[in-house]
Structure 1
Amino acid sequence: MNIAFESKIERGLPSNSDEIDHILETSERTFKENYNIRPFKVHHTLCRSGLFEIPEIVKTARNIIGSGNAADFLALDLRKESISSKFTEAAQHDRLTEVIERLGEGGSWIRLSRTQDYNPDYARVLAMLIDEIGTYADRPFRQEVTWATLTVILTSPGISTPFHIDHESNFLFQIQGEKDVCLFDPGDREVLPEIELERFYASSYNTPRYKPELQSHGQIYQLTPGEAVHHPPVAPHWVKNGSNISVSLSISFCMRALEQRARIYQANFMLRQLRLKPRPPGRSPRGDALKARLVSALEMPNPKTFQDIVYSPMTRLKSPMQFLKRVSGRRGIA
């Protein structure tokens, strides 16, 4: 766990709400059998807290913008985009806080990242969720987490979020409006081939490609206020907003086991550059351990961000890898 994790996540109830003493509502059996393996729905109480009404979110957005951390506030125009688009293809809005107030008029997709760092009540919500997940999963969850964040997502009516995957373990909580979330099995190698995972972990975030002919492999979960759906790590998904403004919370966790798997994929990406055919994770425990150990040696000593935790080995290897490609190309093996 990074050193800053414990100090930034406060425990306890939101300071301006005495209505909730718990957040998740589900059965322990359902949770334990499915968590980090397959999608499943839960109910939640966050709609009762009043913490995620638009005015409170606007205050948090202004705190983010005032901090100068521009990367933590992203506003995209997705009117022309579709499930098969890429986030990097969408145009960014310029006047960020104003676009929130015009959500019902336009085609906006707005993301407020790391909100726990800008709103202490959000930090308390995140802390409650970490403790509750540990209880439901019946494991020392807090000790497994290396990075955690609460992201607020605001969406105009009818907007589609492009098909993509995330490294993290995630829960998407619906607060206002409705949306359809289509999730695919993270182990379905027709939908998500090994080579796409390798490229994803080599920093090619847009690598996963939507395959319309495989849409039947996915399951659509309709979310209404008070419902949430679990996204297992690297589960491919797309989202389609309903006819009203949507407010959602994305709770994401990096975990030690996920970073170890990322190191194996990163090692496999490098081996594939040499025209080798590496085994996917899980096929060779001894080989997996060796790959993870070698790539982990390149990790940043004191990671502070998501990028540091997941991608620092590849970032530090960028120049040597470019050299390796040139050398292997001259030898006719790449």
Structure 2
Amino acid sequence: MTAMLRAAATDLAERYPLRPFPIEHQLVGHPLLQLPRLIELTKQLEKDRIEYNSGKLNPNQKAEDTPLVDLPPEEVVAKIETAGAWMVLKRVESVPEYRALLEEALGSLARALGHANLDAANFRDIEGYIFVSSANSVTPFHCDNEDNFFVQVHGPKFFHLFDNEDRSLVSEEDLESAPSKHRNLTYDPKFESRATVYDLKPGQGVFVPYQVPHWVRTGDSYSISMAITWRSAAVVRHNKLIFMNAWLREKGFPQAAPGAKPALDGLKVAAYTAARSALEPLRKSERMRRLLRSVVFGKKANYFYEAQKAAEQKKAA
């Protein structure tokens, strides 16, 4: 079964890579994206690659008030029609079949953009995220630090997208990103007049550019979606910079916006690169990733572990 993505030539020429546009795909019914296979995927992935909670949220959801779901991951998927849950399976490219699927999909658009292969199209750091959500679930307002061809595979989904250059929606400080900061952003219902809403049906999707603010809701059926993401060299550099800005700001040092002080930006990027190079070998282990989060970023466990802990406390009571 093909994983081809399609977009209008005019959108690729005029809107890519800075503005959203609709896409189409041929992934509906793909065996890797059906519930039985996704149940197996929850067993294959390392547990810190699985995040889930109740889907009964609002766009302005506070992370600390997010209700959890007292089920193991495989049961969340198996019971998604009734679980009232939202789940994301992260970094699915770690499973070879899914890696091949992502590369095939991106390869089709690389060719449409006039490039011979993924590297020529600057499609690097390829990652995949599969979302399995119950009906009427909400993903709160946030931004993502990668480009994304988002595809809808089962059920309806409504994608509310905003202008990533409008700082009255999201400030420069809020765009800074680090593992110690939750992705949810402050949302005001007044923002909605500036939203472009994509009403996605199976077989449809949307290109979501880097750091475009958005929130998402499902319709009256359970939903399966996939984010096919990558980072260009420029995005990787920018992510290093905003990470350092966030870290320094947390230490009490005000930070200029990226680009305002190019020489200082370069020093921050170099410092991040050196530190990450030392830590990267350790991050290959799930156990070490959890330890590093605790030591460096505070005890902000993945939702899987929080749900696990809540279930254990419930049994003990």
Fold conserved between structures, TM > 0.5? yes
Letter in 2 for 1:282: G
Q: 1:57 to 1:318 in 2, by over 3 A?
A: closer
Which stretch has the larger CA shift, 292-301 or 37-46? 292-301
Q: Which residue number in structure 2 is paired with residue 322 of structure 1?
A: none
CA shift at 1:241, angstroms? 0.4
Q: 1:151 to 1:263 in 2, by over 3 A?
A: closer
Residue 111 of structure 2 corresponds to residue 135 of structure 1: yes
CA shift at 1:302, angstroms? 7.3
Aligned positions of 1:62-141 closer than 5 A: 62-64=43-45, 69-79=46-56, 81-87=57-63, 89-118=66-95, 120-138=96-114, 141=118
Deviation digits for residues 272-309 of structure 1 (CA, Å, limit 9, x no counterpart): 56876543223454454344334433332573769xxx
Distance 2:76 2:247 in 1: 42
Q: 1:195 to 1:101 in 2, by over 3 A?
A: same
Q: Secondary structure at the match of 1:109?
A: strand
Q: Which residue number in structure 1 is paired with residue 201 of structure 2?
A: 224
Give the fraction of aligned pairs with identical amino acids, expressed as a percent.
24
Distance 1:150 1:275 in 2: 35
Distance 1:48 1:97 in 2: 20
Which stretch has the larger CA shift, 120-129 or 266-275? 266-275
Distance 2:251 2:52 in 1: 40
Aligned positions of 1:167-316 closer than 5 A: 167-198=145-176, 200-201=177-178, 203-206=180-183, 208-269=185-246, 272=249, 278-301=255-278, 303=280
Deviation digits for residues 223-250 of structure 1 (CA, Å, limit 9, x no counterpart): 0000011111111111110001111111
Letter in 1 for 2:163: D
Distance 1:270 1:121 in 2: 36
Distance 1:100 1:264 in 2: 37
CA shift at 1:93, angstroms? 3.1
Q: Runs of 5+ in structure 2 lacking a partner? A: 298-317
Q: 1:112 to 1:268 in 2, by over 3 A?
A: closer
Q: Which entry has the higher C-alpha Rg, 1 or 2?
A: 1
Q: Secondary structure at the match of 2:210?
A: coil
Q: Secondary structure at the match of 1:192?
A: coil
Instruction: Check conservation: 1:201, 1:262, Cα contact below 8 A.
Output: no
Deviation digits for residues 191-250 of structure 1 (CA, Å, limit 9, x no counterpart): 11011123x347312462112222222211110000011111111111110001111111
- Please point out which of 20, 28, 35 is paired with 1:54: 35
Larger relative contact order (Cα-Cα within 8 Å, sequence gap ≥ 6)? 2
Instruction: Check conservation: 2:138, 2:217, Cα contact below 8 A.
Output: yes
Distance 2:245 2:52 in 1: 35
Distance 2:184 2:130 in 1: 24
Instruction: Check conservation: 2:149, 2:206, Cα contact below 8 A.
Output: yes
TM-score of the two chains, using structure 2 as the length reference? 0.78
Aligned positions of 1:35-50 closer than 5 A: 35-50=16-31
Equivalent residue pairs, number: 289
Q: Which residue number in structure 2 is paired with residue 151 of structure 1?
A: 129
Which stretch has the larger CA shift, 245-254 or 220-229? 245-254
Distance 1:56 1:272 in 2: 43
Letter in 2 for 1:265: I
Deviation digits for residues 45-101 of structure 1 (CA, Å, limit 9, x no counterpart): 11153432222222322333xxxx21122331222x211114552314333212222
Q: CA RMSD in A?
A: 3.2
Q: 1:259 to 1:90 in 2, by over 3 A?
A: farther
Distance 2:9 2:242 in 1: 32
Which stretch has the larger CA shift, 286-295 or 128-137? 286-295
Distance 1:228 1:281 in 2: 31
Deviation digits for residues 123-167 of structure 1 (CA, Å, limit 9, x no counterpart): 221111232233234456436455222222111111111111111
TM-score of the two chains, using structure 1 as the length reference? 0.75
Q: Runs of 5+ in structure 1 lacking a partner? A: 1-16, 320-334
Q: Secondary structure at the match of 1:303?
A: helix
